[in-house]
Amino acid sequence: MTLVPVAEAQARLFALAAPVATERLPIRQAAGRWAADDITALRTQPVADLSAMDGYAIRFADLPGPWRVIGESAAGRPFAGTVAAGEAVRIFTGAALPTGADTVLVQEEAARDSERLMLDGEGPAHRGRNVRARGLDFHAGSRLIAAGERLTPARIAVAATGGHGALPVRRSVRVALAATGDELVPAGGPVSGAQLPESNGVMLAAMLADLPVAIVDLGILPDRLDVLTEAFRTVEADLLVTTGGASVGDHDLVRPALLAAGGAIDFWRIALRPGKPMMAGRLGGALVLGLPGNPVSAFVTATLFVRPVVAHLAGARDPLPVTTHALLGEDLPANGGRTDYLRARLEDGRAYASTIQDSSMLLTLARSTCLILRPAGAPAAKAGESAEILVIA
């Protein structure tokens, strides 16, 4: 049985579907979406030379003063006249520098007696001190945000300053979630002996909460081919994510049900631990990801495939999770043929893997703050060596 390497599986998954359609959204609703186009400045910022401090606009050549104060320039209310030799204008942060002035004397270094202004300190060290030149931040026509970049709060702010009130984004991604298994009952309800509270659907919804998605909750589906087939046949979504029933047991029916519903499997089984039995395919207009039922396997495959493919569909240029590095807290044994994602805790910059790595253990996962990546075939590693990690909490 050949297992698909993780990076190849991610690339194949992204190739199965293009990003969803674009729309224009009012800027206050666009946070967290991905830009569908380059966003270019419609104006220059600042549009004029502005004061960076509260003080007095002067001519540097007139130092060390004294000056005569001839007016005021406030943000939004510029001084209309011109500053001539020996003259100063009271100025505030963000206000336009009057014509003729080239420098701002901060008020802490000035002494004023009615219209008469004197230096009371060292004064500005050079011409242009405390002045923000026109276009310091950006010029009209500059690219502010590239297509495929996420609309973070700072990018929303730069777009607003660049003159935009609405932004081109991808519409939200419709994600259908289905948990499968006869043993499952909804969280919080009564649980009899052989039953188990459903947690994968709850966890997946939480893992998607910061992404632009509209969740279609198919709830808990029983291990019955006819019920699963009908649910899959009628689902309307961009992405269908199932959990459980992905392996090879007699009650693992997700694959046959997808095929019976008219879907096609593109790949099944990944060189990944935990998460090997994951499958990916298409069903009508939707992508399908069949995640393994073990909760930790569902978490790891959702981290490596579900969140990234949602980002891909939502127009992300770089949809993959970003890893970093940490020193190993303890020795690790050689790894087998699957890339391993060890549940671990980061403490003082060192990553400590949990002793038991069973893919059913949710408390271990809940206490973990990172996953240590162990590439397929990696040799044993010593405490203190650097390892690639994925921060998860």
Ligand X SMILES: Nc1nc2c(c(=O)[nH]1)N[C@H]1C(S)=C(S)[C@@H](COP(=O)(O)OP(=O)(O)OC[C@H]3O[C@@H](n4cnc5c(N)ncnc54)[C@H](O)[C@@H]3O)O[C@H]1N2
Q: Which residues bind ligand X (CB under 6 A)?
A: 179, 181, 183-184, 196, 198-201, 243-249, 252, 274, 276-277, 292-295, 297, 359
Q: Which helix (H) or strand (E) holds 145?
A: strand 143-145
| Strand 184-185 versus strand 196-197 pairing type | parallel
Between the CA atoms of 91, 92, 97 and 100, what dihedral angle is there, to the nearest 10 degrees?
A: 10
Query: In the bound complex, what is the minimum distance in angstroms from residue 299's beta carbon to ligand MOO?
Result: 10
Q: Which is nearer to ligand X, 65 or 274 (CB)?
A: 274
* Residue 197 Cβ vs ligand X, minimum distance, rounded to whole Å: 7
Output helix, strand, coil percentages for the chain, rounded to the nearest 5: 20, 35, 45
Minimum CB distance to ligand MOO smaller for 45 or for 242:
242
Q: Quote the least distance from Cβ 194 to ligand MOO, whole Å.
A: 21
Spatial CB neighbours of 343, under 8 Å, sequence gap ≥ 6: 296, 353, 354, 357, 361, 364, 365, 368, 371
Nearer to ligand X, 212 or 245 (CB): 245
Strand-strand pairing, 239-243 and 173-180? parallel
- CA dist 17 and 31 (Å) reads 24
**Taking contact as CB under 6 A, which single stretch among the options 110-118, 187-195, 197-205, 290-298 is the one that binds ligand MOO?**
290-298
Alpha-carbon torsion 374, 377, 380, 385, what sign? negative
User: How many whole angstroms separate alpha carbon 387 and alpha carbon 40?
Assistant: 40
Joined tokens for residue 306: 């579900």
Q: Give the one residue of 292, 308, 315, 319 binding ligand MOO; rule: CB under 6 A.
A: 292
Minimum distance, C-beta of residue 150 to ligand MOO, in the bound complex (Å) = 30
Taking the alpha carbons at both ends of the chain, their separation in whole angstroms is 34
- Backbone region of residue 118 per phi and psi (left: phi > 0; alpha: psi in -120 to 50; beta: other values): beta
Residue 242 contacts ligand MOO per CB under 6 A: no
Residue listed under structure tokens 């994951």? 278
- Residue 270 beta carbon to ligand MOO: minimum distance, rounded to whole angstroms: 8
Closest to 340 (Cα-Cα) out of 393, 307, 305, 377: 377
What is the DSSP-derived secondary structure letter of residue 108? G
Instruction: Give the number of C-alpha atoms closer than 13 A to the C-alpha of residue 287, restricted to the C-beta side.
Output: 27
Give the Å distances, CA to CA, from 234 to 178, 220, 228, 263: 13, 16, 10, 12
Question: Out of ligand X, ligand MOO, none, which partner does residue 57 contact, by CB within 5 to 8 A per kind?
Answer: none
Identify which of residues 99 and 199 has a Cβ nearer to ligand X in the complex: 199
* 243 binding ligand MOO? (CB under 6 A): no
Going residue by residue from 252 to 281, which x/- string records binding to ligand MOO, judged by CB under 6 A? ---------------------xxxx-----
94 contacts 128 by C-beta, under 8 angstroms: no
Q: Least distance to ligand X from the beta carbon of 320, Å?
A: 22
Number of residues that bind ligand MOO (CB under 6 A): 8
Least distance between ligand X and beta carbon 188 (Å): 13
Q: Which of 359, 368, 371, 392 binds ligand MOO (CB under 6 A)?
A: 359
Residue 187 interacts with which of ligand X, ligand MOO, none, CB < 5 to 8 Å by class: none
Q: Is 155 a binder of ligand MOO (CB under 6 A)?
A: no
The residue from 10, 44, 243, 294 that contacts ligand MOO (CB under 6 A) is 294
**Residue 335 interacts with ligand MOO (CB under 6 A)?**
no
Contact 56, 92 (CB under 8 A): no
Nearer to ligand MOO, 297 or 364 (CB): 297
- Residue closer to ligand X (CB basis): 22 or 247: 247
For ligand MOO, give the closer residue by CB, 212 or 293.
293
- Minimum CB distance to ligand X, residue 32 (Å): 26
Q: Output the smallest distance, CB 358 to ligand MOO, in A.
A: 8
Site residues, ligand MOO (CB under 6 A): 273-276, 292, 294, 297, 359
